[in-house]
A and B are shown apart, each in its own frame.
Chain A
Amino acid sequence: MSTQITIEQVSPGDTLPELEIPLTRTVIVAGALATRDYEDVHHDPAQAQRRGTPDTYMSINHTNGLVGRYVTDWAGPAARMVRLSTRLGVPNFPGDVMRLTGEVVGVEEDTVRVAVRGMNSKGGHVVSEVTVRLPRGSEQ
C-alpha cells in the first residue's frame, strides 16, 4: 500500500507505477473461485479448447479485481471507487505475465479518472477507466 494521496496532489498526465501480475495457472483458478465463477473455461483446459480458446483464461471479474486493486494501491485506502469500465481484448492465458500501466486522464472536483491498460505477450488484454473520489488535503 502506498500512503494516502489527496486530490490536490494529482494532475492529468500523472502516471501510476507499473505492476506485473504473473499469470500462473493457480492464480487464474484462484481468481475464478474467489469470484464464485465455475465456468469451465477458467479452470478446465480441455473444455476451454472445445469452446474455441487455446487454453483456460482469466475471468473478467478477476481482471476487474486486479484493475481496482492497481488503482487503489496508488490512490490509498481513503479513496472510494465510484466507477469502473472495462473492455477486454486478448485473453490472459496461463504462463504469461500481465503488465498494468495507468495514467490520470481527468481531475474533476474531488474525483480522478485513471486510464488503465493491461498488456500480456499477445497484446492488449484490458483497457479500463476507473473513477475514484480522493480526500482533500484539509481532511487529512
Chain B
Amino acid sequence: MSTTTQAPASEATDQDAFLARLREFVGLEATPTRYAQDAVNQAMIRHFVEAMGDENPVYVDDRAARDTGREGVVAPPPMLSTWLMVGYKAHTAAAAGAAPDTPMARLLALLADAGFVGVVATNDEHEYVRELRLGDEIKMTTVIEDVSPRKTTGLGTGHFITTLRTYTDQNDEVVARQRFRILRFDPSGAKPAAPAAADPALRHKPFILRDNAFWFAAAAQRRLVIQACTDCGTLRHPPGPICPSCHSYAWHEVEASGRGTVHSYVVSHHPKAPGYDYPLTVVLVDLEEGTRLVADFAGDAGEVEIGMPVQVDWLDYDENLTLPRFRAATSASEPTEEEGN
C-alpha cells in the first residue's frame, strides 16, 4: 500500500499536538507480561493445522516428528501468537469497554476517540529461535516501538502502530521475537471504489539494461533526467545508444524540471494487472524540455484532461525501484511522503 501525508497548514498544528500525545506511548510496555492460558498442546495445534489444510505430520504425529530428529511433536511456527491470545471471554469484555487499563488500551482509546476505529494488520515479522514443543509454557512481553504520523491510505487516514513482542518459555529462554504493525484508520474518509490500495511491489518490473540504467538510477534518487546528444544537443526519450538526429554515440544526461502537460491519456479498467489500483489512469506527458514519457497519473481519472499542466511525483515500488508518476500541477509544492507498508 502506498500512503501519502498531505495536511493543510491550518490542521497541521492540531495534528502535531495529537501526534505528540500518541508518541508519549513509544517505548512503554504495551501490556503487562502476558502468560499463555494453556501450555502448547495437541488439541490447539490440530485446530490450527486443519484450518490451514496443513498435512505436515511433525505437527500431529510423534513418530514422524522423531523421524526428522525432533524430540516429539512441535507446533507450527506461524502459530506463535495464537498461544498468547487472550481468549473469547477477555476479548468480548475488552470489546464491551472493560479493557484493563494498560498503555496499549489508552493509546487505542485515544485513537478511537479521534475517529480511528478501523483496524488492519499490515506487517508481521517472526524470528523463531526454536520450535515450540508440547508442554511449553509461553509468556510474552510487548513494547510499543513506534506510532507513525497521520497517513492517508486506501482504507482512509490513520496511524500505524508497531510493537515488538518477545516470547519466552518456562525457563525464561527466548523462543521467538515478533515485530507487528497495525493500521488504526478512520473509515469515514475511505473512497468506496478503492477498498485498499494495491501494493506497487507486485507490479512487473522494467527491463533495466546498459542503455537505460542511468535513467533508472536517477529515478531511484527521485531525479527525472533526459538523455542529451553531446554533439548536436538533441534530447531523446526513451534512452538509446545512438542519437536519432545526428547518429552520434556521445551523450550525457540533463536534469528535467519535472513539469509538463498532458499530451494524451488512457483510463484502463480491464484487464487488471497486479499492483495497480483501477481504474488506472496512464498519461503521456510532454515535458517542458520537449521529450515525452508515459507514466501513471496520481489522482482520480475524472481529474485528468488533455493539455492540463502536471508535475512529477514519485512512487516507490519497493526498496530498489522508484519511478515517476504525474499529478496535477499546483502553484505551491505540497509536502508528500511515500511509505510502503
Contacts and interface: CB of A to CB of B under 8 A. Distances in A.
Interface in B123-157: 123-128, 131, 155-156
A59 B91 CA distance: 16
B77 A81 contact: yes
Interface stretch (B12-20, B55-63, B208-216): B55-63
A1 B82 contact: no
A53 B195 CA distance: 6
A37 B85 contact: yes
A34 B51 contact: yes
Nearest to B64: A77
Interface residues of B, number: 62
A91 interface: yes
A30 B67 CA distance: 30
Given A38-B91, A86-B123, A73 B56 contact: yes
Interface string A55-93: 000011110111111001100011011111111111100
A60 B119 contact: no
Nearest to B190: A52
B121 A36 contact: no
Contact of A80 (B48, B120, B131, B198): B131
A91 B196 contact: yes
A65 B79 contact: yes
Interface in B73-116: 76-79, 81-82, 85, 87-88, 91-92, 95
B258 interface: no
Contact of B118 (A51, A54, A67, A81): A51
Contacts of B196: 89-91, 122
Contact of B54 (A37, A65, A119): A65
A127 interface: yes
Contact of A88 (B53, B56, B120): B120
Interface residues of A, number: 53
B68 A60 contact: no
B72 interface: no
Interface in B294-309: none
B266 interface: no
Contacts of B81: 35, 61
B275 A84 contact: no
Interface in B159-208: 185, 187-188, 190, 195-196, 198-199, 201-202
A38 B126 contact: no
B332 interface: no
Contacts of A78: 68-69
A108 to B, nearest CB: 16
Given A69-B52, A72-B54, A84-B77, 11 more contacts: A31-B52, A51-B118, A59-B121, A62-B51, A64-B78, A84-B124, A84-B128, A88-B122, A89-B202, A90-B199, A124-B199
30 contacts: A34-B48, A34-B51, A37-B85, A38-B92, A39-B119, A41-B120, A51-B118, A51-B187, A52-B185, A52-B188, A59-B121, A61-B78, A61-B79, A64-B78, A65-B76, A67-B78, A69-B76, A78-B69, A80-B128, A81-B78, A83-B125, A83-B126, A84-B77, A84-B78, A85-B125, A122-B198, A123-B202, A123-B272, A124-B274, A124-B275
Interface of A: 1, 21, 27, 30-31, 33-41, 50-54, 59-62, 64-69, 72-73, 77-78, 80-91, 117, 119, 122-124, 127, 135, 139
The 7 A-B pairs of least Cβ separation, nearest first, read A52-B187, A36-B85, A124-B202, A89-B199, A34-B51, A68-B78, A60-B121
